[in-house]
Structure 1
Amino acid sequence: MVFIQNSNYLQFLAKFGVGGAHPGGINLSKEIMKNERILPASHILDVGCGTGQTAAYLASHYAAHVTGIDINPIMIEKARHRMKKAHVSVNIIQGSIEETSLPNEAFDFVLAESVLAFVNKQRALQEIFRLLKKGGRLIAIEFTVPMLLSTQQADDIQQFYGFDALLTKKDWVALFQETGFQDIRIQKNKDILSKPEFHISKDIESTLYDVMDQHMRMNEKYDTILDYRIYICTK
């Protein structure tokens, strides 16, 4: 977990309590979920749930059984506060998706919104596969580079965000297939956008404001490279 723990970008997200930081934000999440058969009996795992924005929506809108997991204690605290304030029943647990104590085949859906790029992908996908019921679905919104990058570009992006690797669409599909997933569907929807929400901590280091500024500069600098895809895979 060296990358995710040492990422100043992720610490910025936690301290500023950024909800909907993934591409498309909560509006994209809602649009994707509309096409899934989510029932009140459905069990959903939100991997890297952050402040719990998507998890709370799933629990309130679909009345589903929702569990959120995140490794960051600040995010966990903010997610639990959200659920309490909204009177929403969501099980929030702290831990890594690379290895959990959750039971085999416990979930109908696993949602990963810009999470797999930050962890050991093979271990995380194997764990997700274990947790999904037969016929269950992984829905992942993940950073995807459109082309092979120069060493300088790759180093710049990886060092700032804490990615251990930069994957193309073909790379992601190969990983899903190696894990055992089938019926892999790929989408891209850049028409849907959402304003991020903030639940700012009281004690924010001044360096994290610099991280926020750098993040904005990175988005401008690599506008055509910082891309994503939606991957929907079936166990």
Structure 2
Amino acid sequence: MKQIKNSYLELLAELGIGGAHPGGIKLTEEILKSENINSTCHVLDAGCGTGQTAAYLSQTFQANVTALDFNSTMVAKAKHRMKINNLPVEIIEGSIEDIPLPNHHFDFIISESVISFVNKPKAISEIYRILKNGGRFIAVEPTLNERLDVTQEQEIMQFYGLDSLLMEKDWAELLKQIGFKNIQIQHHTTIESEPDFHYSNEIDPVLYDVMKKHLEIISKYQETFSYRVYTCTK
């Protein structure tokens, strides 16, 4: 199979999958119900993809929403989403490892299946930096239910381009080391969301093989490789 750099992330970008994180937009809606978000809040969607969550935040809470993604294809699709829905969401192209935004600016930051794909301590430190004191961080992240053997873990890490696979205690410890408090871990049953696609005009056929492999891995490791919702406060 032809190799594509960050092939899984390229697949998400070219198909323009909104809510690609586990649980999709319905999980996002469920999580945000318990957060005190209103029109005075500044909220960052870190790793926004096509902007589905950012649009929901703006439409539902009338919050001041900023959205960040490193992939130029995703950024273009997010901007298009905001334009056709007439939403005042600022879309920025940039890395979650080096966020081009000021210190202590946001009341809430949400990141959905993003930190696993980057340098985790660096990204979480950046999120901590730009949160206000007392600000809330909400993350949905792939999480091992139990350790796998080395070969199995390598299969997952190599396909998704991950540098490590964490269990929930590892995620909690990492958040604590950065300085976060009131760390809570939520388990959710699988929530089905309607697919949300914004296809590119031309899609490399190789990416359909990538999708096939992704579905194979999800099926193969469904009992041991799932996700958690992590919430905490600066």
TM-score by length of 1: 0.96
The C-alpha deviation readout for 1:13-60, integer Å capped at 9, x for no partner, is 000000011111001101111100001010000010000000001001
Partner of 1:62: 61
Partner of 1:106: 105
Partner of 1:168: 167
Partner of 2:85: 86
Letter in 2 for 1:92: I
Partner of 2:183: 184
Letter in 2 for 1:147: E
Q: In 1, distance between residues paired with 2:207 and 2:125?
A: 33
The C-alpha deviation readout for 1:74-123, integer Å capped at 9, x for no partner, is 00000000000000110000000111220111000000100010010010
Letter in 2 for 1:161: Y
Contact 2:94–2:100 under 8 Å retained in 1: no
Q: In 1, distance between residues paired with 2:105 and 2:195?
A: 31
**Structure 1 residue 191, shift from structure 2 partner:** 4.4
Contact 1:70–1:93 under 8 Å retained in 2: yes
SS of the counterpart of 1:87? coil
Q: In 2, distance between residues paired with 1:163 and 1:141?
A: 16
**Count of residues in correspondence between the two structures:** 231
Alignment of 1:4-153 (within 5 A): 6-153=5-152
Letter in 2 for 1:60: Q
Q: In 1, distance between residues paired with 2:147 and 2:220?
A: 17
Structure 1 gaps, min length 5: none
Q: In 1, distance between residues paired with 2:197 and 2:100?
A: 30
SS of the counterpart of 2:109? strand
Letter in 1 for 2:70: I
Q: In 2, distance between residues paired with 1:178 and 1:6?
A: 31
**Structure 1 residue 223, shift from structure 2 partner:** 1.2
Contact 2:14–2:199 under 8 Å retained in 1: yes
Q: Greater shift after overlay, 204-213 or 219-228?
A: 219-228
Contact 1:23–1:193 under 8 Å retained in 2: no
SS of the counterpart of 1:6? coil
Q: What fraction of aligned residue pairs are identical, expressed as a percent?
A: 51
Q: In 1, distance between residues paired with 2:190 and 2:214?
A: 22
Q: In 2, distance between residues paired with 1:153 and 1:195?
A: 30
Partner of 1:231: 230
Contact 1:6–1:162 under 8 Å retained in 2: no
Contact 1:25–1:194 under 8 Å retained in 2: yes
TM-score by length of 2: 0.97
**Structure 1 residue 226, shift from structure 2 partner:** 2.3
Contact 2:97–2:126 under 8 Å retained in 1: yes
Letter in 2 for 1:73: S
Q: Greater shift after overlay, 73-82 or 99-108?
A: 99-108
**Structure 1 residue 148, shift from structure 2 partner:** 1.4
**Structure 1 residue 69, shift from structure 2 partner:** 0.3
Q: Greater shift after overlay, 218-227 or 6-15?
A: 218-227
Structure 1 runs of 4+ aligned residues shifted over 6 Å read: none
Letter in 2 for 1:39: N
**Structure 1 residue 195, shift from structure 2 partner:** 2.4
